[in-house]
Amino acid sequence: MLGTGQVRAADPTLAEIRAQQLELHEKLAQGDASLAALSATERAQLQAAQERVFGILEGHSDADRLHPAQRTQLTNELERINALVQGDDRNRLVCKREKRTGSQRYVRVCKTVAERELELQNSQRLWDRTNVCNGGVGCSN
């Protein structure tokens, strides 16, 4: 398909990504049956994500020439497109550039939406279990 599973597995060139997105854009414009399940909102989101992809690709022929932030944004937009086409947002990969503690270097950290939600739930549970007490009324030992 035109999703990003291929992007992660085979690392297509920018020209291949552009061709895939143009093909998807044409299918969307023609009302292809494979995209019939998309709502009007999802179609608008898909078109907006594709415009961002085309904007990133404009003037570039080699992925190595993209700024790391652009590569991260490209990955996120392709994942968003794939999630919309596949109808599976929880398995969408979301990447962020983060500085590690004690380092000035950025690293790219990628997790699925489901993994991020689980981390948030776990940290919320940990926070809820933590008994913050300054020795006042209502504190238990």
Residues 28 and 35 sit within 8 Å (Cβ to Cβ): yes
The neighbour count for residue 76, using CB atoms within 10 Å, is 20
Query: Element (H or E) spanning 98, and its range?
Result: strand 93-99
Instruction: State the pTM of this model.
Output: 0.67
Max Cα–Cα distance, the chain, nearest Å: 68
What's the pLDDT score for residue 10? 53
Residues 78 and 8 sit within 8 Å (Cβ to Cβ): no
Q: What is the pLDDT of residues 48-62, one digit of tens each?
A: 999 999 999 999 988
What's the pLDDT score for residue 87? 85
Q: What is the pLDDT of residues 5-44, one digit of tens each?
A: 334 445 788 999 999 999 999 999 998 888 888 889 999 9
What's the pLDDT score for residue 67? 92
Q: What is the pLDDT of residues 59-76, one digit of tens each?
A: 998 888 899 999 999 999
